[in-house]
Amino acid sequence: MDSADYRFWTGRAADWAADYRDTIRTRPVRARTAPGEIAARIPAAPPEAPEPMEAIFADFERDIVPGMTHWQHPRFFAYFPANAAPVSVVAEILVSAMAAQCMLWQTSPAATELETRVLDWLRQALGLPDGFHGVIQDSASSATLAAVLTMRERALGWAGNRQGLAGVPAVRVYASPEAHSSVERAIWIAGIGADNLVRIPTHGPLRGMQAQALEAAITADRTAGFLPAGIVACIGGTSIGGTDDIAAVAAVAARHGLFLHVDAAWAGSAMICPEFRTLWAGVEAADSLVFNPHKWLGAQFDCSAHFVRDPEALVRTLAIRPDYLRTHGKDGVVNYSEWSVPLGRRFRALKLWFLIRAHGLDGLRTMIRNHVAWARDLAERIDAEPDFEIVSAPVLSLFSFRYKPAGCADADADALTQRLLTAINDDGRIYLTQTTVDGRYAIRFQAGQFETTRDDVTAAYDIITGIARGL
């Protein structure tokens, strides 16, 4: 592609992106394609000869876009949001254009130094003390893996990477059943084994770990010859927003010298609003915590903010430092690839810098406060409907409900709620997903898309209740 073509096609792509935003409300939120339908349109073998860009671009619009689910649709109420504020997309275009590998300070000093700065902006925005140091990971899963590896190494006196785990007491990690699946996968990958991830029973509406049960499990494990290493606490779990009492869990961690990692992947963004910080009261005692600006805050995927109290412990766990990666003559500089599992890293700080400056923390707080208020209004309206039941009360902007007309048995309500969800998503005007709460099927609702309005949430009420009546 020559320079003139590059200019032309990046311009076409930018125009397409703006048109996409302008027309997104006319599209069904969830893709309406059957499995295999898109693959059938793509040739099974690669082309030998170059093809014209016109043809490639036309095929993108014809064959690919109809198979997309529109995460930037203001009526996307499924999963958790994956916001890409337009300003962060602009930053990503610049990052793609420069395409730097930002693994070491010297491979792009600006990327490293901006990362240090904007992560400290985020730390202040969340109200975390200045003892926390931030790094951007590609995902919360990676941050949690890094934390689990650190707790393992710390418990093994930093010998695990060298010696492996054979012949040492089984390392034990504690979490609630509400913890994300990424915790269990980190346990697998760290060689700890799922049998050594101890699930602590929960209590209360937020389903937090019972501190006494946690304490008892650790003590029993010690007696049995296991090696308790750390705790992964959860704030705003994926199913219903399950949340541990961090202060209580941190007290147990401190008493037993365990490493405490906090997974606030979704809910962490809301902590820029001081009034929501009660949800993670005590977080200053954590050793490590992760939240995803690529979920609610508006930094386009991928962008996970990982804060640690002791970067030395993380670097001791993950840095290899072969000769060819040394930055000669620049001792004391930060090489962020030593803070994460992958070596290569994209320049992810730029979109955060653009985002925070263009919206200001106040603009971002207003968005989050609106989502929380609108979701609570919707939960109240659904609760007031005799045919509906709130299954889990709102945690920030997330709640779940089910459809259970009078006289309907539990098992029938499960099937009916499932039918309702399918009908809503086939309809396409909104998109919702499901969960299971105490063995019962429930529909999740979360408001969090960057451009969602109060009218969109009101429309969700009309669509949910209207489709239910037509079942």
Q: Which residues bind ligand PLP (CB under 6 A)?
A: 80, 139-141, 180, 182, 237-238, 263, 265-266, 292, 304
| Shortest Cβ 452–ligand PLP spacing (Å) | 18
Q: Which residues contact 252 (CB under 8 A, 6 or more apart)?
A: 211, 214, 215, 218, 231, 258
Q: Which helix (H) or strand (E) holds 442?
A: strand 440-446
Bridge partners (DSSP) listed for residue 431:
76
CA distance 249 to 208: 9
Nearer to ligand PLP among residue 28 and residue 293 (C-beta) = 293
Give the HSE-up count for residue 190: Cα atoms under 13 Å, Cβ half-sphere: 34
| Shortest Cβ 277–ligand PLP spacing (Å) | 17
| Shortest Cβ 79–ligand PLP spacing (Å) | 8
| Shortest Cβ 142–ligand PLP spacing (Å) | 7
From residue 202, alpha-carbon distances to 6, 175, 255 in Å are 56, 10, 20
Nearer to ligand PLP among residue 190 and residue 464 (C-beta) = 190
Nearer to ligand PLP among residue 145 and residue 156 (C-beta) = 145
CA distance 289 to 269: 12
| Shortest Cβ 82–ligand PLP spacing (Å) | 9
Q: What is the CA radius of gyration of the chain?
A: 24
Q: Which amino acid is at 395?
A: V
Nearer to ligand PLP among residue 263 and residue 456 (C-beta) = 263
What are the backbone dihedrals phi and psi of residue 338, each rounded to the nearest 5 degrees, phi first? -80, -5
Nearer to ligand PLP among residue 235 and residue 464 (C-beta) = 235
Pairing state between β 433-437 and 227-234: unpaired
| Shortest Cβ 12–ligand PLP spacing (Å) | 31
Q: What is the token pair recorded at 303?
A: 């962008």
Bridge partners (DSSP) listed for residue 168:
none
| Shortest Cβ 180–ligand PLP spacing (Å) | 3
Instruction: Count CB atoms within 10 A of the CB of residue 255.
Output: 11
Are 197 and 188 a contacting pair, CB within 8 Å? no
CA distance 430 to 438: 26
End-to-end CA distance of the chain: 54
| Shortest Cβ 159–ligand PLP spacing (Å) | 28
Q: What is the 3-state secondary structure (H, E, C) of 292-359?
A: CHHHHHCCCCCCEEEEECCHHHHHHHHCCCCHHHCCCCCCCCCCHHHHCCCCCCCCCHHHHHHHHHHH
Nearer to ligand PLP among residue 304 and residue 317 (C-beta) = 304
Nearer to ligand PLP among residue 104 and residue 118 (C-beta) = 118
Nearest Cα residue to 77 out of 18, 35, 30: 30
CA distance 56 to 58: 6
| Shortest Cβ 237–ligand PLP spacing (Å) | 5
Q: How many residues does the chain have?
A: 471
Nearer to ligand PLP among residue 150 and residue 304 (C-beta) = 304
| Shortest Cβ 136–ligand PLP spacing (Å) | 11
Q: Which amino acid is at 284?
A: E
Nearer to ligand PLP among residue 137 and residue 196 (C-beta) = 137
Nearer to ligand PLP among residue 292 and residue 317 (C-beta) = 292
Q: Which amino acid is at 285?
A: A
| Shortest Cβ 181–ligand PLP spacing (Å) | 8
Are 314 and 146 a contacting pair, CB within 8 Å? yes
Nearer to ligand PLP among residue 304 and residue 417 (C-beta) = 304
| Shortest Cβ 143–ligand PLP spacing (Å) | 8
Nearer to ligand PLP among residue 139 and residue 452 (C-beta) = 139
DSSP classification of residue 168: S
Are 289 and 271 a contacting pair, CB within 8 Å? no
